[in-house]
Amino acid sequence: MRRVVFVLAACVITLAVAWFLAGLPGHVTAQFGATTVDMAASVAALGLLIAFILLYGVFRGIGALLRLPYVAARWDAARDRRRGDLAVTRALLALAAGDKADARREANRARQWLGDTPQTLLLAAEAGRLAGRDDEAEAAFRRLTQRADAAFLGYRGLLRQALNRQDWSEAAALARQAEAAHPGASWLRHQRAQLALRSGDWAEALDLAETDTARAALAAAAATAEQDPARATKLAQKAWKADASLAPAALAYAIRLRAEGRESRAQAVLRHSWSLAPHPDLADFALAPVTDLLARAQAAQHLAEANPEHVESRLLLARTALAAGLTGEARHQAILARDSGLNQRRLWLLLAEIEEAEGGGTEASRAAQRDALRRAATADPDPDWRCTECHAIAPAWSAACPSCGAAGSLRWGPSRAGSYQVPAVVT
Ligand SMILES: [Zn+2]
């Protein structure tokens, strides 16, 4: 419609110009040497118009000839772009389909047609990685790191390669460079946290931890590894405040407090943690300064008052009473633990010791001892450190699970659920 209007308008203008020219009055006379030309004004105007149009056409032609190399270059560039785009699409399809040879070939074509752009370099690197050509992939990733607009992509690829090689120090260095290139990337934060855990850099892992459970474990480990006493105390306090029920956190804090001469505060920390989640290591550390056996039994009594109904309190009282020669009290506490539902190996071994200490060498005593040992053989296993993520058992506590690497996932408790009931905390 617009075109029709345009053509009509052009016709009208042409007719108007022709009508105007035809109506021009007068003559134009021109003399070239001996030749005199006389023509009507309308013919002269028409001649001028035609001459102008011809001259314009000549100049346009010359301009087109001068621009020819530039236009040809643009045509070539457009053709390369079309071919490159097609190669990029084919390379992406080959990568998605896992076709290694096609992916490499098309990625190389894309680089040939489009040059080294972030997209073509990344494609070449991924195609090399898929084909197992780590050298090719690394070269492409390194070229990416040299580009300000895509350095993070290069460092990310090199970091993944270092992780696959389990080259933790190189991976840590690349992670720092990637962080500088693109601060705050969530993927990188996760990778840095994993690296810190693998390399045992607890302080770095603590900075990157996202849950209180992980923070408590990592701060406890960082406090133990910290050389500066003041910083170690702060870390240990942080660990204990994050999770007072975590025995290693309480121990780390109590160790620092005892080292600073704040024994009563250390005992208060241990007592509070005992009230939340008793662990034999807490009792061992709390009773360590006491050497007299009767005094140890009294100190154990004081600690157990924080959580008197718990089987750990019963077992602690039984063990310390037995060591002090108070076999009646030891038996009483062990029986209370057994009656609360505890059926663990350590309880029956303790009862066998009590039988031996109390009964002397009588036949009845030996029979009772044999019975206790027989029960120990078939009893529930003793509590241990177990990962809440992968459920693997760890031989000792650590800030990260040795099996799955999860931070703060190790919890101490009975191996078999329901082997005894944990009574409500009495405060
Ligand atoms: Zn685990």
Q: What are the tens digits of pLDDT across the range 41-64?
A: 777 777 888 888 899 989 998 988
- Please tell me the predicted confidence (pLDDT) of residue 421: 42
Pick out the chain residues at pLDDT < 70. 11, 21, 360, 416-427
Rounded to the nearest angstrom, the distance between the alpha carbon of 409 and the centre of ligand 1 is 7
- Please tell me the predicted confidence (pLDDT) of residue 220: 96
- Please tell me the predicted confidence (pLDDT) of residue 416: 55
- Please tell me the predicted confidence (pLDDT) of residue 148: 87
Rounded to the nearest angstrom, the distance between the alpha carbon of 394 and the centre of ligand 1 is 9
Rounded to the nearest angstrom, the distance between the alpha carbon of 347 and the centre of ligand 1 is 28
- Please tell me the predicted confidence (pLDDT) of residue 424: 38
Place of tokens 């989640």: 277
How many CB atoms sit inside 10 A of residue 199's CB? 14
| Neighbour-count burial of 120, counting CB atoms closer than 10 A to its CB (0-12 exposed, 13-18 middle, 19+ buried) | buried
Rounded to the nearest angstrom, the distance between the alpha carbon of 367 and the centre of ligand 1 is 43
Place of tokens 């780590």: 134
Rounded to the nearest angstrom, the distance between the alpha carbon of 349 and the centre of ligand 1 is 30
Rounded to the nearest angstrom, the distance between the alpha carbon of 397 and the centre of ligand 1 is 12
Residues at Cβ < 5 Å from ligand 1 ion: 387, 389-390, 401, 403-404, 406
- 252: Cβ–Cβ under 8 A, 6 or more apart, which residues? 219, 220, 223, 224, 235, 236, 239, 240
Closest CA to 214 of 388, 384, 385: 388
Rounded to the nearest angstrom, the distance between the alpha carbon of 408 and the centre of ligand 1 is 9
